[in-house]
């Protein structure tokens, strides 16, 4: 699987160098590329935001900078494969994922669906968010686009949500979790999420005994 993440804070994704996801990358199971959105700016101040049309507080992320970046990462730019040769099977085509507070609540089921795809692209917004025309433009261009939320609370940007989704998806890829048995166990339907208590040595601790199985 290939995953691209575009953000103005690429270091926020550094935890993905660690642990199982880090090993999956080293093993070539996961091709994860993190990009700095400012690399696609053209002005010397590397500007990515501007004041909101219609007034209001805060700043909004510019569609033109995001467009240039996503065209390249989605492989849609000039150098892209002509539409006629574009893979028909949606699992082959890139899936643009935009974390946003108003997105579809992220679930284990969505993680399982995404784990079956070949190429995920995360657009991590900041400020008040990304100009809404970006999502409309790529939907209209036939790109599979999903807006997801990781919960009913407000974060400062999409990076933390991208971390959550990428970890939940990556650990489902064959060869990432050491003992796939544990994946089967935990995936026994919705109930699977409700983990059961776990115990290990010593059998006696602080006058607490492990329940006899």
What is the tally of helices (H) and strands (E) in the chain? 6, 9
Q: Are 63 and 133 in contact (CB under 8 A)?
A: yes
**CB of 38: closest distance to ligand JD8 in angstroms?**
16
**CB of 20: closest distance to ligand JD8 in angstroms?**
22
Is 78 or 154 the residue whose CB approaches ligand JD8 more closely?
A: 154
**CB of 185: closest distance to ligand JD8 in angstroms?**
28
Is 148 or 172 the residue whose CB approaches ligand JD8 more closely?
A: 148
**CB of 128: closest distance to ligand JD8 in angstroms?**
5
Pairing of strands 2-7, 31-36: parallel
Is 64 or 128 the residue whose CB approaches ligand JD8 more closely?
A: 128
- Three-class secondary structure of residue 161 per DSSP: helix
> Contact residues for ligand JD8 (CB under 6 A)?
99-101, 103, 125-126, 128-129, 148-151, 153-158, 161
Q: Are 95 and 117 in contact (CB under 8 A)?
A: yes
Cα separation of 162 and 13, whole Å? 8
* Residue 172 half-sphere exposure toward CB, CA atoms < 13 A: 17
Is 54 or 174 the residue whose CB approaches ligand JD8 more closely?
A: 54
């Amino acid at each position: 699987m290939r995953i691209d993440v575009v953000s103005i804070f690429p270091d926020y994704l550094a935890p993905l160098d660690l642990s199982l996801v880090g090993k999956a990358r080293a093993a070539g199971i996961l091709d994860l590329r993190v990009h700095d959105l400012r690399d696609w700016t053209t002005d010397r101040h590397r500007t990515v935001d501007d004041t909101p049309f219609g007034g209001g507080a805060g700043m909004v992320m510019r569609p033109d900078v995001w467009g240039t970046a996503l065209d390249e990462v989605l492989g849609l730019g000039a150098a892209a494969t002509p539409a006629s040769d574009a893979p028909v099977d949606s699992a082959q085509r890139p899936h643009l994922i935009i974390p946003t507070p108003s997105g579809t609540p992220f679930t284990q089921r969505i993680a399982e669906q995404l784990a079956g795809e070949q190429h995920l692209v995360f657009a991590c917004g900041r400020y008040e968010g990304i100009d809404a025309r970006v999502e409309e433009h790529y939907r209209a261009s036939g790109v599979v686009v999903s807006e997801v939320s990781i919960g009913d609370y407000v974060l400062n940007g999409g990076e933390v949500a991208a971390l959550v989704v990428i970890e939940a998806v990556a650990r489902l890829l064959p060869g990432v979790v050491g003992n796939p048995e544990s994946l089967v166990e935990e995936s026994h339907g919705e109930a699977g999420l409700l983990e059961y208590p776990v115990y290990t040595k010593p059998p006696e601790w602080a006058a607490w005994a492990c329940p006899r199985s």
